[in-house]
Amino acid sequence: MTEIKTDTATGGSGMGRRRFFDVVLGGGIAALAGGILYPVVRFMIPPEQPEAATSMVVAAKVGELAPNTSKMFRFGKDPAILIHTDAGQYRAFSAICTHLDCTVQYRDDLKHIWCACHNGHYDLSGNNIAGPPPTPLAQYDVAVRGDQIIVTRA
Partner 1 sequence: MGGRYLRMGMLGALTLAAVIGLHGRTASAASSCITCHLEFDDPAIREPAVKFEEDVHNLRRLGCESCHGGNPAAGAEEGDPELAHDPKMGFRGEPSPGEIPEFCGGCHSNVEFIKQYNPKQRVDQLLEYKSSHHGKLLASGEQRVATCVSCHGVHGILPVKDTRSPVYKTNVAKTCAGCHGDTKLMASFGIPTNQFDLYKSSVHGHKLLEEGDLAAPTCNTCHGNHGATPPGLTSVSNACGECHANNLAYFNESPHKEAFAEMGIGECETCHGHHDVMHPDDDRIGVHEEAFCVRCHSEGDAGYAAAAVMGAGLDSLKRALWAAHEILDRAERGGVNVALGKFDLHSADDAVIKARTGVHYFDTTKFNAIIQTGLAETQNVMALGEEAMHDLWLRRVGLMFTVPVILWVAIALYLRIRRTEREQASNS
Partner 2 sequence: MSQQNRRMQIGTWLDERIGWSAIQELAMHKRVPMHRHSIWYYLGGMTLFCFLVQVFTGILLLLYYRPTAEAAFESVEFIMTDVPFGWLVRSLHSWSANLMIFFAFVHMFSVFFMRAYRRPRELTWISGALLLVLSLGFGFSGYLLPWNQLAYFATKVGTDILGEIPLIGEWLLVVARGGEDVTGATLTRFFGVHVAILPMIATFFLLLHLALVQKQGMSVPIGEEYKKAPSMPFLPNFAVRDLVGWTLALGILVLLSSIFPWELGVKADPLAPAPAGIRPEWFFCFMFQTLKYIPGKVFFINGELLGIIGFSLGGLALILVPFLDRKAGREERNVLFTAIGWVVILYIIVFTVLAYVE
Q: Which of residues 9-28 bind partner 2 (CB under 8 A)?
A: none
For residue 149, the minimal CB distance to partner 1 (Å) is 19
55 contacts partner 2 (rule: CB under 8 A): yes
Segment near partner 2 (CB under 8 A), from 48-56, 57-65, 113-121, 141-149? Answer: 48-56
In contact, 114 and 107? CB cutoff 8 Å = yes
Considering only CA atoms, which of 120, 145, 133, 142 is closest in space to residue 70? Answer: 142
**Where would I find the beta strands (DSSP E) of the chain?**
56-61, 69-75, 78-84, 90-94, 105-107, 112-115, 120-122, 128-130, 139-145, 148-153
154 contacts partner 2 (rule: CB under 8 A): no
Segment near partner 2 (CB under 8 A), from 9-17, 44-52, 78-86, 107-115? Answer: 44-52
For residue 71, the minimal CB distance to partner 2 (Å) is 24
Q: Which is nearer to partner 1, 31 or 62 (CB)?
A: 31
49 contacts partner 2 (rule: CB under 8 A): yes
77 contacts partner 2 (rule: CB under 8 A): no
**Number of residues in contact with partner 2, rule: CB under 8 A?**
15
For residue 52, the minimal CB distance to partner 1 (Å) is 9
- CA–CA–CA angle 104, 90, 87 (5° rounding): 105
In contact, 125 and 138? CB cutoff 8 Å = no
Q: Which does residue 25 touch among partner 1, partner 2, none (CB within 5 to 8 A, set by kind)?
A: partner 1
Torsion from C-alpha of 128, 131, 133, 135, nearest 10 degrees: 30
Q: Which of residues 124-143 bind partner 2 (CB under 8 A)?
A: none
Considering only CA atoms, which of 58, 52, 91, 86 is closest in space to residue 73? Answer: 58
